[in-house]
Amino acid sequence: MNGLDGVDVKLVNSVDAAGELMRWLSTKTEIAYDTESTGLNVDRDRVRLVQVADERVGWVIPFERWGGVVAELVSKFE
């Protein structure tokens, strides 16, 4: 059994997808939040991906392109 069986994974790759993420997030009371980086050195490494999910839907946000979406979701959905 794959750990992603039954999970709908969505990629934020457009303004429409970012809006869909925000609408989805506004209906949630509990989520998981994860980041992927190039390493642990804060002076050298960078955030690559941010992931937000519940038990059924996962969102992948490429940080370099869509970091503004991450900033908005953190400020809006504390």
Which of the residues in the chain have pLDDT under 50? 1
27 CB-near residues (< 8 Å, 6+ apart)? none
71: left (phi over 0), alpha (psi -120 to 50) or beta: alpha
Cα separation, 19 vs 12, whole angstroms: 9
Q: What is the pLDDT of residue 28?
A: 92
pTM score, whole prediction: 0.85
Q: What is the pLDDT of residue 2?
A: 57
Q: What is the pLDDT of residue 67?
A: 94
Q: What is the pLDDT of residue 1?
A: 44
